[in-house]
Amino acid sequence: MVKYPSGSLAAFRKPVTKKEEHATVHRSYKHRKGVNFSDRGMTLEQQINESNKYYLMGEIAVVHKKPTPIQIVKVDYPKRSKAVIREAYFRQASTTDYNGVYKGYYLDFEAKETRNKTNFPLKNFHDHQIFHLDECLKQQGICFILR
């Protein structure tokens, strides 16, 4: 379980009791075919966003997720208040996931999730992302990868 410096958990998680926590530590897991592990808890992005909220509230740093630039092509309006995007495309290649400022220094970083514990393939990065990080480093920015 991840607790943040503010002591909070992500909004969608219920607090774990001591009894449940103890049972989780001693439980053995068996992987079976056809088992869905998609809801394993908090994702990396949710953890980063919670941390960034803490940094902002504590006036430590200002870091935000960059929006993905998309062009909306087709929207359905089943009800007046419920628009549904049916077709869209990326306007341009996005650079990295997050940027901000820490003590006067520009921050820029990419977040990549992986289940592989022994290596991290560089093919997970696009050329335009590497180029962007290199350009930021040339300007004395602080650049890194979170995985």
The Cα 65–Cα 108 span in angstroms is 10
Q: In this structure, how many other beta carbons lie within 10 angstroms of the beta carbon of residue 8?
A: 13
pLDDT at residue 106, as a whole number: 97
Domain ranges of the chain: 18-146
d(CA 32, CA 28): 13
pLDDT, mean of residues 36-56: 78
Residue whose C-alpha is closest to residue 61's, from 107, 93, 25: 107
Element (DSSP H or E) covering residue 110: strand 105-111
Q: Using an 8 Å Cβ cutoff, are 98 and 65 in contact? A: yes
Highest mean pLDDT among 20-34, 50-64, 117-131: 50-64
Q: Domain 18-146 belongs to what architecture?
A: 3-Layer(aba) Sandwich (3.40)
Question: Any idea what the Cα angle at residue 107 is, between residues 63 and 105, rounded to 5°?
Answer: 105
Q: Is 23 helix (H, G, I), strand (E, B) or coil?
A: helix
How far is Cα 26 from Cα 22, in angstroms, rounded to an integer? 7
**Residue 136: predicted pLDDT:** 95
Q: Which residue has 């991840």 as its token pair? A: 2
What is the share, in percent, of the chain residues with pLDDT greater than 70? 71
**Distance in angstroms (rounded) separating the CA atoms of residues 49 and 54:** 9
Q: What residues form DSSP beta bridges with 106?
A: 101
Binned at pLDDT 50, 70 and 90, residue 28 comes out as very low
Look up the pTM and report it.
0.62
